[in-house]
Amino acid sequence: MSINRELHNQVMWNRLISVVEEQALTLVRTAFSTSVREAGDLSAGVFDSTGRMVAQAVTGTPGHVNTMAAAVGHFINDIGPERIYPGDVYITNDPWKGTGHLHDITVTTPVFHRDELIGFFASTAHVVDVGGRGYGPEAKEVYEEGIRIPILKWTERGVLNNDLVTMVRWNVREADQVIGDIHGLAACNETGRRRLLAMLDEFDLPNLDDLAGFIFERTHSATMKALENVPAGTYTNTMTVDGYADEVTLAVMITVTDEGMHADFTGTSPLSSHGVNVPLGYAEAYFTYGMLVALAPELPNNFASLAPFTVSAPPGVILNAHHPNPVAVRHVIGHFVTDLTMGALAETLPDVIPAEGAGALWNFQASARQASADDPKPPIEILMFNSGGSGARPALDGITATAFPSGVRTMSAEATEQIGPIIIWRKEIRENSGGYGKYRGGMGQILEIGPTDGYQFEFSAMFDRVANPARGRHGGGEGAPGAVYLDDGTPFPTKGKKTVPADRHLIMELPGGGGFGDPAERAPEDLENGRQQGYVS
């Protein structure tokens, strides 16, 4: 390739990244749900005509991006190449063809240039409600968890499918927010489509083929070079987490060859009777993410960087859910896959792999309902994401109250209080929650919330790391386990639905990350700074 051609493709690559970033920011600006506009629980990307992801927006989560990377192929197959027209928009929330549960809606838009199908834009967002039992782990089958939208046309040749809109509207509790978010997903894809066409016209390019080939070739070469840091062989790890009613053992064997990495989850606990099960594609997303951030964090995420990583699991284990297994809160177990798989490489890469962190988000879904039959009030759904501490790193403390591996942001107290009858009475760093070590684990936080305005909460709990805290590494201590209770001291379940009365507050103490290295080696100035900051007593 000539130097001029090389520079041209580098310019085109930078331009393409700006296109998908504008795509994602359009979704953030137009979204109705706080999970999208405040927390960034979304993904956006551009794909070639065969459904291979060429580039993704930085804004987004691995669980959305890496599952969306596989989803566009399902859209092409189910719609049928002969039924893909200009002006179309496609939709699904199928857990096994999208991102692993019904609450995430994926929208895909084809792109035509000079009468030729040249690619697709796709985006995903977590919506506040999909009907059914609501966002929580109580269901015994996916049928109970809400409306399931197969791959369908939201728009055909520019004409909105009003029948589908009506069907969705009458099956969700927050119709305006959900329908609004779907239109936001379509709008962000349209923004990407227009910007891409303008780019192709400006540089007189017929399609994406040459640029995609350049990106895939360079990314694949760099990914395989990064994998050389792990010697060929097999690596194993196990982890115990709380589960729903019974503890769950997660097990992995990673096989490294010249062709890539394969993770097999044989030995993992059986499926749960509740909605904490994980479709294998979601487990693959967080395995791939863990390996890429450990070995090649500077590389772009696309078809070529994802291809060397594969997974397998025997049928009937919690990381290989199939229809009709319930999967509503698949993140609770799925997020631990990153620590599980990175832990398998901890002895081989001691200067790279951090201690275990809080892992799963401490999401809460509060269904605000009238507290008194004499005081009728409209029902309101409130969703908030919260994070514990990440594990200490080989040369740095862990990060406090930060979502790893999901990367979603916590909604602000002000934004949450604006959408419903809730007061966040307290939100503070949890003292002494980070595991001790040469480098301290990231600290959790304490939240105290309660209903207001004559409401009570039907509260769906989906918390972990209460019975099984994050483990330290290389001599580091465990992070503090989580705790949940009412302000009068009444214990509160960590999974399942229970009521928070109108006159009570719910207190959540989020878990901390594990420490790294011998605590006796911690620098005196770091010890003193921790005391001055109030991190340790």
The interaxial angle of helices 162-169 and 175-202, nearest 10 deg, is 140
DSSP 359-379: -S---EEEEEEES-TTS----
3 pLDDT band, cuts 50/70/90, is low
For residues 511 and 482, the answer to whether their CB atoms sit within 8 Å is yes
The arithmetic mean of pLDDT across residues 481-495, rounded, is: 96
**Measured on CA atoms in the order 60, 62, 63, 68, is the torsion positive or negative?**
positive
The arithmetic mean of pLDDT across residues 79-102, rounded, is: 98
* pLDDT over 70 percentage in the chain: 99
pLDDT at 196: 98
Positions of E strands within 438-526: 445-451, 455-462, 483-486, 495-500, 506-509
Does residue 260 have a pLDDT over 70? yes
**Nearest CA-CA partner of 54 in 122, 153, 154:** 122
pLDDT at 459: 92
Average pLDDT, the chain: 95
pLDDT at 391: 98
Gap between the Cα atoms of 464 and 413, Å rounded: 22
pLDDT at 465: 97
pLDDT at 2: 57
The interaxial angle of helices 3-30 and 209-227, nearest 10 deg, is 90
Does residue 441 have a pLDDT over 50? yes
CA 269-62-12 angle, to 5 degrees, is 150
Does residue 9 have a pLDDT over 70? yes
Q: What does the pLDDT look like over 15-37, one tens digit per residue?
A: 999 999 999 999 999 999 888 98
269 DSSP assignment: P
The arithmetic mean of pLDDT across residues 391-410, rounded, is: 95
The arithmetic mean of pLDDT across residues 159-174, rounded, is: 98
Tokens 């910007």 belong to residue:
195
Q: How many residues does the chain have?
A: 537
DSSP 282-311: HHHHHHHHHHHHHH-TTS--SHHHHTTEEE
Gap between the Cα atoms of 186 and 122, Å rounded: 9
Give the predicted TM-score (pTM) of the model.
Answer: 0.96
**Nearest CA-CA partner of 467 in 482, 477, 456:** 482
Does residue 41 have a pLDDT over 50? yes
For residues 399 and 389, the answer to whether their CB atoms sit within 8 Å is yes
The arithmetic mean of pLDDT across residues 439-455, rounded, is: 96
Helical residues (DSSP H) of 336-470, grouped into ranges: 336-344, 413-419
Own/partner pairs for 349-354, CB < 8 Å, 24+ apart? Answer: 349/229, 349/230, 349/294, 350/394, 350/474, 351/394, 351/395, 352/294, 352/295, 352/394, 353/294, 353/394, 353/473, 354/390, 354/391, 354/392, 354/393, 354/394, 354/398, 354/473, 354/513, 354/516
For residues 398 and 442, the answer to whether their CB atoms sit within 8 Å is yes
126 pLDDT band, cuts 50/70/90, is very high
Gap between the Cα atoms of 508 and 448, Å rounded: 6
* pLDDT over 90 percentage in the chain: 92
Q: What does the pLDDT look like over 515-531, one tens digit per residue?
A: 999 999 999 999 999 99
pLDDT at 252: 98
pLDDT at 1: 47
